[in-house]
Structure 1
Amino acid sequence: MPSYEDDLSKFEEYDTQVLGISVDSIPSHEAWQKSIGGITYPLVSDFYPHGAIAEKFGVLRKEAGAPAYGAAERALFIIDKEGVVQFIDVHPIGEQPDNEELYEVLRKL
């Protein structure tokens, strides 16, 4: 997610709002932001009711006994101004699509 901070002005060129959502608590978000030197885009805590947003987007790990049960998958969504999901990428932790791939989707909107 720091790469989004680094390229925030480029995202803004596409009239885009970058938003982070995590099932972690607000204190956890604050500690994470501090550990990476801060970010300027908003973070949403999907902590209570736990994972409600992640569940609506189909990325909450709900299988009992599964690794990281109750966590959200690492996922990116691009939602247009009409609220239609235009892009979904679910990826392993530590990986994410190159921002240029996201810009390509945004150019088409």
Structure 2
Amino acid sequence: MPSYEDDLSRFEEHDTQVLGISVDSIPSHEAWQKSIGGISYPLCSDFYPHGEVSKAFGVLRENPNEPAYGASERALFIIDKEGIVRFIDVHPIAEQPDNEELFDILRKLNS
């Protein structure tokens, strides 16, 4: 997520709001932000009711027999101003698509 901070001005050029969401608590978000030197985009705590946003987007790990039960998948969504999901990428927790891929998609959506 720090890479989004690094490219925040480029996201803004595409009239895009970056928003981070996780099932972690607000104190956990605050500690994480502090540990990386801060971020300037908003974070949403999907802590209580636990995972409701993640569940609504189909990315909450709900199988108690699976690793990371109760966490959300690492996922990216691009949602337009009408609330329509235009892009979804769910990927392994240790991976993150290159921001250039996101900028390519944003260019296509805005053309």
TM-score bucket (shorter structure): over 0.9
Task: Tell me what 2:43 maps to.
Answer: 43
Q: Which AA in structure 1 matches 2:59? A: V
Greater shift in the superposed pair: 63-72 or 4-13 = 63-72
Greater shift in the superposed pair: 68-77 or 85-94 = 85-94
Greater shift in the superposed pair: 39-48 or 93-102 = 93-102
Residue 66 (structure 2) pairs with residue 66 (structure 1): yes
Q: What is the count of residue pairs matched by the alignment?
A: 109
Task: Tell me what 1:84 maps to.
Answer: 84
RMSD: 0.6
Q: Which AA in structure 2 matches 1:96? A: Q
1:94 deviation in Å?
A: 2.1
In structure 1, the gaps of 5 or more residues are none
What's the secondary structure of 2:78's corresponding residue? strand
User: 5 Å matches for 1:18-57?
Assistant: 18-57=18-57
Q: Which AA in structure 1 matches 2:20? A: G
The runs of 4+ residues in structure 1 deviating greater than 6 Å are none
1:108 deviation in Å?
A: 1.7
User: How high is the sequence identity, in percent, across the aligned residues?
Assistant: 81
